[in-house]
Amino acid sequence: MPQQLIVVTGASTGIGASAARELAGRGFHVLAGVRRDRDADAIRSDGVEPVILDITEPGQVQALAARVAGDPRALHALVNNAGIQVNAPVEALPMAQWRRVFEVNLFGHIAVTQALLPALLRSKGRVINISSIGGRIAMPTYGAYAGAKFALEAVSDALRREVAPLGVQVVVIEPGGVRTEMAGRGIATANQLAAQMTPEQDERYGGLVHAINTLMATGTASGVTADAAARIIAKAVTNRRPRTRYTIGRDAALLIGLARVLSDRTLDRVSAANLRRHYPKGATA
């Protein structure tokens, strides 16, 4: 087959960078979205062409669409991977942060998808949306992040049913713990936001934030590598008839399986028991 294009957003580090390299190694020409010139220099390699792309900037999204439209190669897949992790209790997270999370983790993906759908319809390509286990189960302090991922899953379902008759496939990827820089940045952001809580909010949620951060660090350290995650993404990109959803990591498969069979109250108790051992000594769980 002639070489085809793939767009991967959020390719500076982590899963996005690994996916770009994995797909280039399989013979695709990858347009790897990055936000800074130094990230472009780091990702540039044989088969990987960096493009400056902030998915919340309409001008950069349109420039990407023009780059794809001007290439004689068909666009085989769009991998919507860009994202940020911002964790805080619902009460304590400022509205500006809520809007930022949804702008990056949901609206930006929709904007890129809208811009590239004409090319994907011509090629009968596919859209790969990188969601999260948080798109199926919302842990405490994950209200904004999980809310955007839940919404991304719903948008993916709607889009799949809209474009399947037109020959375009839509796949959702749901990673659990993956050893990337994103988790570390998420913990740092959570600590910054916790420092801005009022004394009353800190009394209510301080122990919870500590427990969640400890659990996140533990889960990330025991998670799969970004390269292993990239191989799952490559499977979704290249399989002739991909599944509508793929999980990444045993933790994601286990928790999503439990969510299917346990009641909400039972799942609440399981979550609370899992968190309790991570609370600081003397704190109330």
Summarised one tens digit per residue, pLDDT across range 192-228 is 999 999 999 999 999 999 999 998 888 777 789 999 9
Are the C-beta atoms of residues 57 and 32 closer than 8 Å to each other? no
Residue 279: active-site member: no
Token pair 């998670």: residue: 223
Are the C-beta atoms of residues 220 and 177 closer than 8 Å to each other? yes
Give one word for 134, left, alpha or beta, with left for phi > 0 and alpha for psi -120 to 50: alpha
* Residue tagged active-site, from 145, 205, 246, 279: 145
CA dist., res. 68 & res. 119, Å (int): 8
Task: Return mean pLDDT, the chain.
Answer: 94
Question: Token digits for 139?
Answer: 């842990």
pLDDT band at 181 (very low <50, low <70, confident <90, very high): confident
Report the pLDDT averaged over residues 1-24: 94
Q: List domains and CATH numbers for the chain.
A: 5-179+225-252 (3.40.50.720)
Query: pLDDT for 113-157, tens place per residue?
Result: 999 999 999 999 999 999 999 999 999 999 999 999 999 999 999
- pTM for the model: 0.93
Within 10 Å of residue 77's Cβ, how many Cβ atoms?
Answer: 27
Within 10 Å of residue 22's Cβ, how many Cβ atoms?
Answer: 21
Are the C-beta atoms of residues 258 and 284 closer than 8 Å to each other? no
Report the pLDDT averaged over residues 100-112: 98
